[in-house]
Chains A and B, each alone.
Chain A
Amino acid sequence: MQPLTPKILLFRTAVAALLLIAIMLACALVGSQDVSLRAVFRGPRDGATPSLDYEILMRVRIPRVLLAAMVGAALASSGVIFQALLRNPLADPYILGISSGAGLGAIIAVISGLSWTLWGRSPIAIFAFVGALGTVWLVWGIGRITGRHQVAGLLLAGVVVNAFFSAMIMFLVSIARGQQLYATIFWLMGNMTEEDLFVLWVGGGGILAGIVALFFLGPQLNIISVGHQDARSIGVSVERVELTAFAISAFITAVAVSLSGLIGFVGLIVPHAVRLLFGPDHRQLLPLSSLAGAMFLVVADTIARIVVAPAQLPVGVVTAMIGGPFFLFLLVRYSRRVYWPT
């Protein structure tokens, strides 16, 4: 494999970004209702009545495609970070309990039946966000106490906290009313909807800033993923880099999860797929993974929207069903020439 120069990096990122834009446009034009672009360009009003095509494309599809891209990018890039920091190929953004913490927050919001809104968001999003960050903080704290074997301690704390919160989710599900139950189950399998523009703006800004910040840490992450001792010996402040990277990726995952529910698989397979195709250098892995994650989730969500139209599938089902076989294919085809983070 040729060495990574800034020129190659820029070229690949630009190609991936253009591809993402093309995919987003194509996916916005597909759906249960046919939309004519010519009608959309005539503007929001068609004579005296509001234009149906404009409304569906601009108010429903484009916000939803944008959300899918944001969430996909956030999950894939934090997947890269978690795999690097935990030095474990099975790591994904949910491994330290974010998913069960967010799920617990969401189900508490559903069961308590709160009905206020903040910026048009139901309490579910806010409870999920708080639950996600609270859980990561708890797991990180326990991991710190375990000290010397920090990675193993973190992983074990994450697994146990996940199991404990999952049990609480199961208990709450078992006492929920049928209707609340379904609302929760769809949330737990990924619930993508169109969002208010302001929410997209703020969430997108937060996620983009997080990804750029993680990109700044790329060179240090490359060194750390070789080994702590080596990294320390050449002057990398391991603890500080780790803490910053963890905090940022937990934050963007929490934002993504609170906007869209629990979408599995993106954060696990996209980083691996990109690593298999382009190698393990984090300066490249991070931008390419976030763009690939965005593309993957936009496509998966479009499939979820149209395959049983006018109903829709939870997007988590689609990501696992198309992502699994595709990833196995890549694994068999390319695994001989890669380095795995161990």
Chain B
Amino acid sequence: MAKWWLLTAAAALWMACGYALVRSPAAERRAGPSPSIPTRIVSLAPNLTEILFALGLEPSIAGVTQDSDYPPAARDKPKVGTFWQPSIEAVIATRPDLVVTEAFEQQRDLARRLQRIGYRSLAINVETIAGLFDAIATIGAATGEEERAHALCADMRAEIDQLKAKTAAGPRLKVLWVVQREPLRVAGRNTFINEMIELAGGENAIGPTLHIYPAIGAEQVITARPDVIIEPAMLPGTVDQQRRQALAYWGRFENVPAVTAGRICIIDGDVVSRLSPRLPEGIRTVARCLRPDLFGE
């Protein structure tokens, strides 16, 4: 029996020592104040990289993730891993004074770990169009580019309002936004894609759903009666190939208005898959699918 008591006592002693010696829950701050205007910024998401570029911060960007491919200059920046699996070592090696991350678990965790070592990080939630404008303002404030951020938001808003005004008159077409064909998954109401469809003068053919990107069956496709089907091509340069496959696939739905009218629209996924300063371009792309007549096509 003695050995059990000894073990318990040793474990208790160990925990007590740990509490006394190494307890450091609060993040230790790096000695010396960090400069208020960061000069070495690391971005962990492609849309955040686009915002940094749009704010004219290119000289201060010290690292981006491998998926940051726009603007083209982003490809030449040092890489710190991927969006889903950023490498903390690579981030530290760029010696950043500000790390900008998304706010979901994977990236917030990295932000927390960097803070523990003493790095400054900024977690930003970009899931809606309103969130995008907030994000631009937040990044502008953190990098001393408030005015440019303000101007950028104003430009984007003006362009979006213009598109909205242009498509406001006329019927609201029902849009089925196909994320994936086999199995069929579409964009639900609780997405920024839904916001883009509405700003482009359309309406989501799918009603409110529990899932954010619901998987649907043939029956829902037929009863939703979409006027237009939009499929973003996710890989660059595959628009034509995807168009051929899409026409073959949708041919079976003879009663769907979009199919009878031949209104199946394959667009470049690059401009509609990220909430970035290219948002107005994305909305224009969607509007062109819905109302080609307004754009002289």
* B is a partner of A: yes
Of the listed stretches A49-57, A233-241, A265-273, name the one at the interface; the rest are far from the partner chain.
A49-57
> With A31-B89, A177-B212, A183-B106 as given contacts, are A198 and B116 in contact (CB-CB < 8 Å)?
no
Residues of B within 8 A of A175 (CB): 210-212
Main secondary structure of the interface of A (DSSP, over half): helix
B241 close to A (CB within 8 Å): no
| Known interface pairs A174-B211, A183-B105; 18 further A-B residue pairs with C-beta atoms within 8 A, sorted by A's residue number | A31-B89, A56-B92, A60-B88, A119-B25, A120-B25, A122-B112, A175-B211, A176-B212, A194-B88, A196-B116, A197-B24, A202-B18, A206-B11, A216-B7, A310-B79, A310-B80, A310-B81, A312-B85
Q: Could you tell me the distance between the alpha carbons of A208 and B3 in the complex, rounded to whole angstroms? A: 15
A202 and B95 contacting across the interface, CB-CB below 8 Å? no
Q: List 25 A-B contacts (CB under 8 A).
A: A33-B89, A33-B90, A52-B95, A110-B105, A124-B105, A177-B127, A177-B212, A178-B212, A179-B102, A179-B105, A182-B106, A194-B113, A197-B22, A198-B18, A201-B14, A202-B18, A205-B15, A208-B14, A216-B7, A310-B80, A310-B89, A310-B90, A311-B85, A311-B86, A312-B87
Note all chain B residues with C-beta closer than 8 A to A194: 88, 113
| Contact string against B for A residues 97-122, beta-carbon threshold 8 Å, 1 for contact and 0 otherwise | 00000000000001000010101101
A209 within 8 A of B: yes
Query: With A31-B89, A205-B14, A212-B7 in contact, is A179–B106 under 8 Å at CB?
Result: yes
Please tell me if the beta carbons of B15 and A202 are within 8 angstroms of each other in the complex: yes
Q: Does B288 contact A (CB under 8 A)?
A: no
Decide if A32 is an interface residue (CB 8 Å cutoff): yes
Docked Cα-Cα span, A120 to B82, in Å, equals: 24
Contact pick for A198, options B3, B25, B85, B109, CB 8 Å: B25
Complex contacts, A278 vs chain B, CB 8 Å: none
Note all chain B residues with C-beta closer than 8 A to A178.
212-213
Q: Using an 8 Å CB-CB cutoff, how does the interface string of A56-93 with B read, 1 for contact, 0 for none?
A: 10011100000000000000000000000000000000
Cβ–Cβ < 8 Å partners of A222 in chain B:
none
List the A side residues contacting B211 at CB < 8 Å: 174-175
**A209, B84: Cβ atoms closer than 8 Å:** no
Determine whether the beta carbon of A52 is less than 8 Å from that of B93.
yes
Q: How many A-B residue pairs have CB under 8 A?
A: 118
**List of B residues within 8 angstroms of A50 by Cβ:** 30, 118
Chain A residues lying within 8 Å of B84, measured Cβ to Cβ, are 182, 186
Residue on A nearest B78 in the bound complex, by CB = A310
Distance in angstroms from A321 CB to nearest chain B CB is 17
Chain B 163-194 per-residue mask, 1 if CB under 8 angstroms from chain A, else 0: 00000000000000000000000000000000
Task: For chain A, residues 140 to 197, give those with C-beta under 8 angstroms from any C-beta of chain B.
Answer: 174-180, 182-183, 186, 193-194, 196-197
For window 35-58 of chain B, which residues contact chain A by CB distance below 8 Å? none
Asked if B249 is at the interface of the complex by the 8 Å CB criterion, the answer is no
When the two chains form their complex, are residues B25 and A115 in contact, meaning their CB atoms are under 8 A apart? no
CB contacts (< 8 Å) of B244 on chain A: these are none
Specify the chain A residue showing the minimal Cβ separation from B123: A115
Q: Annotate A120-143 by CB proximity to B: 1 below 8 A, 0 otherwise.
A: 101010000000000000000000
Are A32 and B212 in touch, CB under 8 angstroms?
Answer: no
> How far, in whole Å, are A209 and B85 apart by their CA atoms in the complex?
34
A179 to B123, CA, bound (A): 14
Q: How many residues from A make CB contacts under 8 Å with B? A: 45
Is A213 part of the binding interface, using a Cβ–Cβ cutoff of 8 Å? yes
Closest to A210 in B: B11
Given the complex of chains A and B, what is the CA–CA distance between A27 and B10 in angstroms?
30
CA distance A129 to B151 in the complex (A): 48
Is B95 in contact with A209, judged by CB distance below 8 angstroms? no
Q: Which residue from chain B places its CB closest to the CB of A216 in the assembled complex? A: B3
Chain A's nearest CB lies how many Å from the CB of B231?
17
How far does the Cβ of A179 sit from chain B's closest Cβ, in whole Å?
4
Mark contacts of B103-119 with chain A using CB atoms, 8 A cut-off: 1 yes-contact digit, 0 otherwise: 01110110011001110
Question: With the chains together, A174 CA to B80 CA distance in Å?
Answer: 30
Known: A110-B105, A312-B81. A209 touches B11 (CB 8 A): yes
In the complex, residue of chain B having the shortest beta-carbon distance to the beta carbon of A57: B89
User: Is residue B295 contacting chain A, with contact meaning CB distance below 8 A?
Assistant: no
Q: Are A56 and B22 in contact (CB under 8 A)?
A: no
A209 to B23, CA, bound (A): 20
- Chain A residue with minimal CB distance to B106? A183
A317 to chain B, nearest CB (A): 12
Cα A216 to Cα B2 with chains together (Å): 11
The answer to whether B87 and A59 touch across the interface, beta carbons within 8 angstroms, is: no
B187 CB to closest chain A CB (Å) equals 11
| A179 contacts B104, C-beta separation under 8 Å | yes
Chain A nearest Cβ from B250, distance in angstroms:
25
How far is A135 from B212 in the complex, measured between Cα atoms in Å? 30
Q: Which residues of A contact B80 (CB under 8 A)?
A: 310
Q: Which of A55, A124, A205 contacts B117 (CB 8 A)?
A: A55
- Distance in angstroms between the alpha carbons of A196 and B82 in the assembled complex: 24
Query: Within the assembled complex, what's the spacing in Å between the Cα atoms of A194 and B87?
Result: 11
Which of A180, A212, A310 lies at the interface centre, i.e. has the most chain B CB atoms within 10 A of its CB?
A310
B210 contacts across to A, CB distance below 8 A: 175
CB within 8 Å of B: which A306-321 residues: 309-312
B85 touches A120 (CB 8 A): no
